[in-house]
Structure 1
Amino acid sequence: MKYLNRDLLTLLISLFVLGSCENPSSIGLDVQPGDEIVGVLTDTLTLHAVTLKDDSARSNSFNQTTFGLLNDPVIGKTTADLALAIGKPASVPRIREDAEIDSVILVLPYGNEYFGDSTGSSFTLQVRQLAEVYTDGNYSDKEWAVSDEVLATKLVRRFAYRDTVSVYKHIDEKDSLVKADPQLRMALPAAFFRNLFSESVDSASISTEKGFSNHVKGLYLSVDEASMTGTGGLITFRGATDVTGIELVYRQPNGKDGDDAAIDTFRTFLPTTVSASSSFAARISSSIKHEYTTEVAAQLADPSGNFETLYLQAPAGLRAKLSLPHIDSLKGLDMAINKAELVIYVDQGATGDDFGYYAPRLTLYREDIANQRQPVPDGDSRSDGQRFSGDARSLWYRSNGYWQAFGGVYDKDKQRYIFHITSFVQDLLRDRIKNNEFFIAPASEGDRNVPYQSVLNTGSRAVIGGGNHPEYKMKLNIYYTKSN
């Protein structure tokens, strides 16, 4: 093998050079003074980029799911409602006319993400009864049948998803104040549950899981848009066994006379989350709706176009398709890829001053020749039973936040994302991977894996420069050695 320039010819192929005033394009391998590598710049390759609608996602595929309302001035409005199961308890409550209902509380533990205005927005939450029976396995584009009557409302000035709460728990025959994980607690109407579990209801009809579900149907949680202030935001909720559900406490006479007469207290938990073989099924379904701005709609109407600005949005919203239509020009050159990195810059001009929020993490994946989603080799975090099978096995958590070898984490200082896709580019050149298209989309920063399906566990978004942006161009840096 013959090498030039210090026995190493390293060719930097920079597909797109960024031209902002801060010169963010000055990126490459770190070298010591005096050891700079002389590179050759070529523009034989181009990058094609367009925004596409993402697929809907299955709600119970995630450990947390999105809820809320976000008015994004650049991308548009996202509405994320929740359909909730009312689970059958071990003992179905039978509430008599002379009973006193002390409290009915809907409990929803928070997930670990919030995206949007956390200080200048307020939300009025509304709870209604489903007009259809809650069922599992639905996708995020399902429109649920919902009763018109609003059962309960709650004003939330901020979602305290990081704050523990103090709640009373009945422990050792007494009520004790204990600390609980961050959670939304919302009072529900006593009259509704008195009727729902009245003694007049046929016991046989609610004694089975199916009969109980047909009777109670479920609940629907939404934001009253007319009363919301600010741009809003999207929070996540999670299913937690013995926590996510409805706490019902009521008292009624025991039906005895004389000295045996007493008031019995009943504490019933109606679980939204159910245990199953040491795992759980969170019967919470996000129902997602998007309304897009004119700029976004123009791209969605032209899926074969090539655009300067790209829009990425979760949950189940928007993704960008990138392609390298001329990568074949590098095939047959007998080169070994040492490093390939995709550098993506925030389009600061498109974002505006009113909404400066960016997804803390993006993901990158591809589709095979059958249009089935697949991880790229560098970001394959699927387990083979012993360890992660791809380069992304280097994932771990650190005290200062999420980090991964694959990349995709937002750099606030340089306002960019970087993906390391060395194996992917090498496989394209060697025809191990036939399709030169790949995709980027938001991902949850708390997800240990590298997702390649549409997600519901985050509500984040990003507006980025495309391959032909005059100021905030994305670029692909490829470093390789060539043998003769």
Structure 2
Amino acid sequence: MKKIFNALKFTCVFSLILAVFVSCDKDFNTIQSDVIAAKNFNTDYTLAPITSYNRKLDSVKINNLGASLFGVFNDPVYGQTKASIVAQVIPSSFNPSFGDNPKIESVILNIPYYSRAITDSTYTIKDSLFGDSPIKLSIYQNNYFLRDFDPNSETNSAQNYYSYANNPANNTDNFAVTENGTINFDDFKSADTLYYDPSFVPSSDAIVITKTASDGTETTERLAPALRVELDTTFWKSAILDKVGSTELSNANNFINYFRGLYFKAEPIGNDGNMILFNLGASGANITINYSYDSTITDGERVQSSYVLSFTGIKLNTFINDFTTPLENGDPNLGDEKLYLKGTGSMAVVDLFTGLVDYTDENEVTTQIPALEAFKKTYRAVDDNGDYIIKNGDFVLKRLINEAQLVVHEDETMAEPTDDYHKYDRLYAYDIKNNIPLADYDYDPTGNTTDPFNSRYIHLGQRMTDDNGVTKYKIRITEQLNNILLKDSTNTKIGLVLSTNVNQTSGSALLDSYDDVSGVPSMSLLTPRGTVLYGSNQNVAEDKRMVLEIFSTVPDTKSNN
């Protein structure tokens, strides 16, 4: 189908509005006399051709994601996802001496949740907790050795582990994939559990610790909400205290080869559950072995001490998807009617300026040319020979892009258990070629490190629902297009994913990618909820179809005569 690159023009004199654009747009001065020489200006509104389609995700990097997702989540559209964790623990010191006649008093596992303080003594974990139904929590010793480096790499590259979330033959065990094969962590877990909770639900209550000194004085300490449980002392005596003086406790390499970490397994109870973000990178994420030993000063007196194991080694998230919605690769030529965004399942790709369009030049001659070429011809100034003009290394423009935005509508027919179920969803757009944010990300002054939902909202927008129940997002890509025009930057495809924290932009690579998508933002993997958007396919109703809107300023040269 032929695509049209025509402008809907609205002419006005707007010196005041222009002054605002001058103050806000860093590239306005590049246009210089081409625009400023005009007394009056016209505004143009253009719908540029795009193609958006689905990209199924297989084998996404799952180690060291920045946070760790744990639990069971049942999405009303996609079905159930289970997230488990495999993590190394490393002692805070080596070659320990546990004293004479050591005895373990307690072993405490503490893993903070991501929480916010409401008052000095109350917290909320609603930003990182999804669902509130109980699940089964089992903790095992992991006996699979997690390598730091890829043995097949000639450059000593780090070993990456990738997801195998869509295993059609096994939806109960947790897998990872490397370049060398598939790992089933359930084949490498200890025979006995180190801890088991048949009905685990994270609590937002503060952790209150009361200590009694030898003189009877009590002190109280409050900690942020966490998974804080007491572990069996017998296992840890055998695993740690009885190894005193051995090579296993002499350095980090020996220790992680001996004690290969813990395996936190999440299992459902029925269809529903809960999913929580563990902060394994926090200073308080550890296993503390509290022990006592005979005093060398006072006979009969016991000295209290502790030995701490921290989660400072390799951490990886495993996923099991039991999807009820089939996810497939889309049509990169015609685009898809609906776009499926779901963690380790699927993302969307947006290709700007696709296909051929009708372009009408200044002599009113219409020809059909590639859309990207038409875009450049429409905005760039040319000399008498018809060649683009370059000044100070940049192309000179004959019109100014004031605003360019992807308008994306959400599918209003998808199932939602509550009206505000998707209220806090954020769309994240990124450059799929380089796995980095788009140019507009860095120009957005609304970055907020403490409140990700209200961060970068000029560029990435926020979910908006009007009085008629129409829900949409607007993604500002003005600087992205300016870079194409001014710098001749590559017109890279844009990836769209959901994100729980748009401040975190690190990427997770794909194993053996077959197209332009070589990675996804890590935070998209840690977003339990999925959503469905309308795509660019011509079968989508015009008022719901994804579009690229461009608002521009054009000098009215005729008014100067």
Normalised by the size of structure 2, how large is the TM-score? 0.65
2:430 aligned partner: 365
Cα deviation code 1:330-367 (max 9, x no counterpart): 33123421111212222121235489633622211123
- The change in CA–CA distance for 1:260 and 1:172 in structure 2 (over 3 A counts) is closer
1:21 aligned partner: none
Shift of 1:197: 2.3
Counterpart amino acid of residue 480 in structure 2? F
2:336 counterpart (296, 307, 325): 307
Counterpart amino acid of residue 465 in structure 1? Y
Distance in 2 between residues matched to 1:197 and 1:397, nearest whole Å: 40
Cα deviation code 1:111-159 (max 9, x no counterpart): 257567533x112211001112344564352344433432211255532
Alpha-carbon RMSD? 3.9
1:59 and 2:63 correspond: yes
1:132 and 2:132 correspond: no
Shift of 1:436: 5.1
- The change in CA–CA distance for 1:430 and 1:254 in structure 2 (over 3 A counts) is closer
Counterpart amino acid of residue 414 in structure 2? A
SS of the equivalent of 2:145 reads: coil
1:442 counterpart (482, 493, 498): 498
SS of the equivalent of 1:59 reads: coil
Number of aligned residue pairs: 425
1:459 aligned partner: 527
1:432 aligned partner: 488
Q: Is the 8 A contact 1:95 1:194 kept in 2?
A: no
2:104 counterpart (101, 105, 108): 101
Counterpart amino acid of residue 102 in structure 1? E
Counterpart amino acid of residue 321 in structure 1? V
Cα deviation code 1:176-204 (max 9, x no counterpart): 32111221112222221121125367623
1:476 aligned partner: 548
1:206 aligned partner: 249
1:33 aligned partner: none
Shift of 1:442: 1.8
Shift of 1:231: 4.6
SS of the equivalent of 2:53 reads: strand
1:322 aligned partner: 350
Shift of 1:91: 5.6
2:377 aligned partner: 332
- The change in CA–CA distance for 1:193 and 1:355 in structure 2 (over 3 A counts) is farther
Q: How does 1:121-200 map to 2 (within 5 A)?
A: 121-136=133-148, 138-141=160-163, 142=176, 143=183, 144=185, 145-155=188-198, 157-160=200-203, 162-168=204-210, 176-199=219-242
**Bigger Rg over Cα:** 2
Q: How does 1:17-416 map to 2 (within 5 A)?
A: 45-53=49-57, 56-57=60-61, 59-60=63-64, 62=66, 64-90=67-93, 100-112=103-115, 114=127, 117-119=130-132, 121-136=133-148, 138-141=160-163, 142=176, 143=183, 144=185, 145-155=188-198, 157-160=200-203, 162-168=204-210, 176-199=219-242, 203-225=246-268, 227=269, 230-241=272-283, 243-253=284-294, 260-273=299-312, 283-296=314-327, 299-300=328-329, 306-314=335-343, 316-324=344-352, 325-326=354-355, 327-328=371-372, 329-334=374-379, 335-353=399-417, 357-358=421-422, 360-367=425-432, 371-379=433-441, 390-396=442-448, 402-404=454-456, 405-411=458-464, 415-416=471-472
2:513 aligned partner: none
Cα deviation code 1:82-130 (max 9, x no counterpart): 11222123266677997653321211111257567533x1122110011
Q: Any unmatched runs of 5+ in structure 1?
A: 11-36, 274-281, 380-389
| Percent of matched pairs sharing the same residue | 21
